[in-house]
Structure 1
């Protein structure tokens, strides 16, 4: 074997190794690889037939089957631009391998949605409503029916964590600026949490969960900018790995909680988001009441506290303190928006008013930094940087050998980085990797309602 061929094989193997994957799975689809790079949790592969996305997941087989069936259901109901699983040459939707479970989809062209632009937020709201409409009536597998429905359980876990954080502070001899900020505002956090829990308990939350169970509705579970791909005026939704049975309020509430802080919880933006959503899928009075209770919870502020005490972010204490205080200031705007929501729609809830009024905060623009652990954004370009991608002058084809290893293939049916190309820019044509064979009730439409004057 000549040196160029060896180098390309080595580089391809290195990319798969860095991804924790095994290139032998490529032959299950007979993929002829021209380019490949790791991009936000998937391998983006250029083939003669177009771009593909190969993903490896470390979950149960039943979970992958649930996702695959949910995606097929959405596509069958007319939801556009959903990346369906591409079946292997044996007709299977995914591959079970010793290193994990792999599935292949088309690569959705475009860029991550810039949700700092209000028009993209409105487009996201419209798309989410269409997803919820299409997701009704899904008769999928047995995963996810109860596991993610009740967000009040998550609130309870936060309360337990805060108690443990309080105890850890008592054991510290010295208090830093973040410790002091947390201590100063701990009582206000507690009031916000208890008020939200009380309002949720007084809301028709049980009723809307029962409706969701009867109508078998799908939530995306991770409806964030990384998974919203804009191509011209079209918006595609990718990464359904977190989809589950649940009520649409969960997705809608998460969208507002995640992106309204960028607009300082401006009521005109928030009501426009809701109006765009309602134009596609009406929101009942009961659902709006639950949504208002959901938005009463200081989710983003607690995420900062959790990241600090559990050291999931590599920030210094000053940045944590600044971020914490900024989120508390945004909580004041969030509570004002909930007050407006309750007044506009005449909801039977008590308006929250517990967040502190903070002034003179240091400015920063990293509101997106809690959203993803990814270090890069999606880019469909193939920028050249030394050391992390392989490009073959013609194609890397995967050939089948008769040898059969101890790997089985099922019989049924977060994260986009920059590419690094071969530093020499030269390669031998038709490099071939000889890989071993791998074994193998009708949805109820909520009634319309109008806000009270």
Structure 2
């Protein structure tokens, strides 16, 4: 268009020449026709398979988030005042998800965006849940399964015929005649999966069914071994990951967790059982010692990086918080309560991140991914849930009250459990997790932002702990 605006006539040009020039401009083909005839560079022909494979490659399995690093913390981003206010306010209960659209243009986009925001959140049971309505060929399904590091032989071991396959983080969602199936490659051993399967059967006997049961193989086992790899499959749960900022969802989550704890009491596994987790003082002493060790390691570096400098600037107050938490956990009354609860222990989830709890379309909370489940004090799970919710609400006391009211509706907490809950919240879990990830797992440029996020919340966290600690002390008197 820039050429069209230039004055191409020269001084002394004859009138006839001007009309010839005008006629040439009017009959010249448009620019888009010229561009269409140019050869393509080929960059736009990428079908997205490389990106899809990279995004869905299973990541290295981390320890449970109460014990170690959890990806649900996210990368800190700049917050705007409007978003900050809206997230703190009590959110109305979201309506059940509408029926999946059969539109071919919208369905693939929904599935793609869902895999980015919550890769492990199961959604839907209709055909449109897996993008296009038409089925894929068997060779296409097997190709997708191989691309994501799974073996197609697993389908035969389960007696399944998949007509569609879609990756969701470390899980493959399969469309089969038996419905939607979640297939997962796991690092669990056969005896660990058997323990979980037994616990699920016991929970069903106790009328607690808000979890995803295992699918049995053709041999009647809750797992399949192919090529040295372990797999298990469950029914796909319809819903979305829990939003801790929603008071109704938070209330349901607290009540569901309490009912899960109570329903699991009395379970006696046959054979293997993971180690119990009632030695809290010893376990948290190990974490405190690790902070001291990492401090020494950072100090002796000849060229400490920005992460080391940030860690050294923050670590001493957090070590003092460890000491305070340990002094509470070592009290005789607390130890006596732990010994008493060990006689009738509940099963703890131990990985209560939002994407491991599904808010279903019928308004329930479903617990998924119980790979780390073990017997332990129920306050371990409760403290994890409360801490996650408080972090998302900038440590508002109303969040704690909301959780406790609904949890206590199932079974009241004892005074010593309140004391333990306070101690578990005093312990600097977030700072310890970031440091563990940095010094034991591997360097990540996001860790500096995580440290800054922990530092930014500390004033509000301490104000909350001061008030909650005073309330607990009044209960002890």
Pairwise same-fold verdict (TM > 0.5): yes
On the 8 A contact 1:122/1:272 being kept in 2, the answer is: yes
Cα 1:268–1:320 shift into 2, 3 Å: closer
Question: Structure 1 residue 301 and structure 2 residue 431: aligned?
Answer: yes
Question: Structure 1 residue 146 and structure 2 residue 275: aligned?
Answer: yes
Unaligned runs of 5+ in 1: 1-6, 349-453
Question: Structure 1 residue 135 and structure 2 residue 264: aligned?
Answer: yes
Task: Report 1:398-437 matches (<5 A).
Answer: none
On the 8 A contact 1:264/1:333 being kept in 2, the answer is: no
> Pick from 345, 355, 365: which aligns with 1:226?
355
Question: Which residue number in structure 2 is paired with residue 15 of structure 1?
Answer: 144
Deviations 1:229-276 (A, max 9, x none): 112311111111111111211111111122211122212220221111
Question: Which residue number in structure 1 is paired with residue 335 of structure 2?
Answer: 206
Deviations 1:366-422 (A, max 9, x none): xxxxxxxxxxxxxxxxxxxxxxxxxxxxxxxxxxxxxxxxxxxxxxxxxxxxxxxxx
1:289 CA displacement: 1.8
Larger radius of gyration: 2
1:176 CA displacement: 4.5
CA distance in 2, matches of 1:24, 1:316: 38
Task: Report 1:346-365 matches (<5 A).
Answer: 346-347=475-476
Question: Which residue number in structure 2 is paired with residue 75 of structure 1?
Answer: 204
CA distance in 1, matches of 2:436, 2:275: 25
Q: Secondary structure at the match of 1:32?
A: coil
> Pick from 326, 334, 342: which aligns with 2:472?
342
Q: Of the two structures, which has the highest relative contact order with CA contacts closer than 8 Å and spacing of 6 or more?
A: 1
Question: Which residue number in structure 2 is paired with residue 38 of structure 1?
Answer: 167
Cα 1:320–1:295 shift into 2, 3 Å: closer
On the 8 A contact 1:87/1:94 being kept in 2, the answer is: yes
On the 8 A contact 1:249/1:291 being kept in 2, the answer is: yes
CA distance in 2, matches of 1:66, 1:241: 10
Question: Which residue number in structure 2 is paired with residue 326 of structure 1?
Answer: 456
Q: Secondary structure at the match of 1:196?
A: helix
Give the number of aligned pairs.
341
* Higher mean C-alpha deviation, range 302-311 or range 258-267: 302-311
1:287 CA displacement: 1.6
Question: Which residue number in structure 2 is paired with residue 282 of structure 1?
Answer: 412
Which is richer in strand?
Answer: 1
Deviations 1:193-248 (A, max 9, x none): 11110011115333333233321421112122111111231111111111111121
1:337 CA displacement: 4.5
Cα 1:317–1:30 shift into 2, 3 Å: closer
Question: Which residue number in structure 1 is paired with residue 444 of structure 2?
Answer: 314
> Pick from 134, 154, 170: which aligns with 1:25?
154
On the 8 A contact 1:257/1:295 being kept in 2, the answer is: yes
* Higher mean C-alpha deviation, range 206-215 or range 69-78: 206-215
Unaligned runs of 5+ in 2: 1-135
On the 8 A contact 2:186/2:231 being kept in 1, the answer is: yes
CA distance in 2, matches of 1:31, 1:311: 37
CA distance in 2, matches of 1:129, 1:310: 34
CA distance in 1, matches of 2:469, 2:185: 44
CA distance in 2, matches of 1:214, 1:70: 18
On the 8 A contact 2:310/2:448 being kept in 1, the answer is: no
Question: Which residue number in structure 1 is paired with residue 295 of structure 2?
Answer: 166
CA distance in 1, matches of 2:390, 2:174: 35
On the 8 A contact 1:136/1:218 being kept in 2, the answer is: yes
Q: Secondary structure at the match of 1:114?
A: coil
CA distance in 2, matches of 1:317, 1:302: 12
CA distance in 2, matches of 1:134, 1:221: 16
> Pick from 182, 191, 196: which aligns with 2:325?
196
1:334 CA displacement: 4.3
Question: Structure 1 residue 261 and structure 2 residue 391: aligned?
Answer: yes
Cα 1:101–1:181 shift into 2, 3 Å: closer
1:14 CA displacement: 4.3
Q: Secondary structure at the match of 1:137?
A: coil
Cα 1:13–1:148 shift into 2, 3 Å: farther
CA distance in 2, matches of 1:314, 1:253: 27
CA distance in 2, matches of 1:106, 1:316: 35
The TM-score, its normalising length taken from structure 1, stands at 0.69
* Higher mean C-alpha deviation, range 18-27 or range 271-280: 18-27
Question: Which residue number in structure 2 is paired with residue 428 of structure 1?
Answer: none
Deviations 1:125-170 (A, max 9, x none): 0110110111110011454453433333332222222222222222
> Pick from 362, 368, 377: which aligns with 1:238?
368
1:313 CA displacement: 5.8
Question: Which residue number in structure 2 is paired with residue 59 of structure 1?
Answer: 188
Cα 1:157–1:14 shift into 2, 3 Å: farther
The TM-score, its normalising length taken from structure 2, stands at 0.66
